[in-house]
Amino acid sequence: GQFAPTVLGAHEESRGTLLILLYQRPISWGSESMALYRVSPEDGSQTLLSSTPSPFWPPTALLPRSDGSVLVATSGSGPLLRYDGCNATACAGPSALASAASNATGKAGLAEVRTAHGKTLCLVTGSDQLTGRGGSICCERRDGSLQTIWAPAT
């Protein structure tokens, strides 16, 4: 329903675990929180890494990065959120990234891609659930700008 929680998961390859993001939509019932968990697929053990008030924009993608941080894409014109300082038991609360990727609208997917210059962030932009628009795929350039690498035929 309209106020159902959003749950996203991603494989944290460096630890062999899963990251689970539980988002509860900001409403007036007092349960508005966003929590990041690490879950062991071996035994099901869970570690709460961070719990904060929910942002207005629901999350659409979760990406553990090779530097140990975790990125969360938010819907609409919401920012990219970054959890820093993640270790075995905790992450610092999310902060909004100041970047072209963060300013892109309609974020619906994230990937870290190895290139000749190291790793770069690629994302789906322009996705719109209301109109059914699929969006395009963009990657961050070394100067921080975005380059469209795929767009649907018009």
Whole-prediction pTM: 0.88
Res 5: pLDDT: 84
* Whether the predicted pLDDT of 64 surpasses 90: yes
Task: Please give the mean pLDDT across all residues of the chain.
Answer: 88
Res 2: pLDDT: 60
pLDDT tens digit sequence for 87-140? 999 999 999 999 999 998 888 889 999 988 889 999 988 876 666 666 789 999
Backbone angles phi, psi at 16, to 5 degrees: 70, 25
* Percentage, residues of the chain above pLDDT 90: 58
Q: How far is CA 83 from CA 102, 133, 144, in A?
A: 14, 29, 19
* Percentage, residues of the chain above pLDDT 70: 89
Res 95: pLDDT: 95
* Tokens representing residue 106 in the block: 């309609």
- CA–CA distance, 71 with 69 (Å, rounded to integer): 7
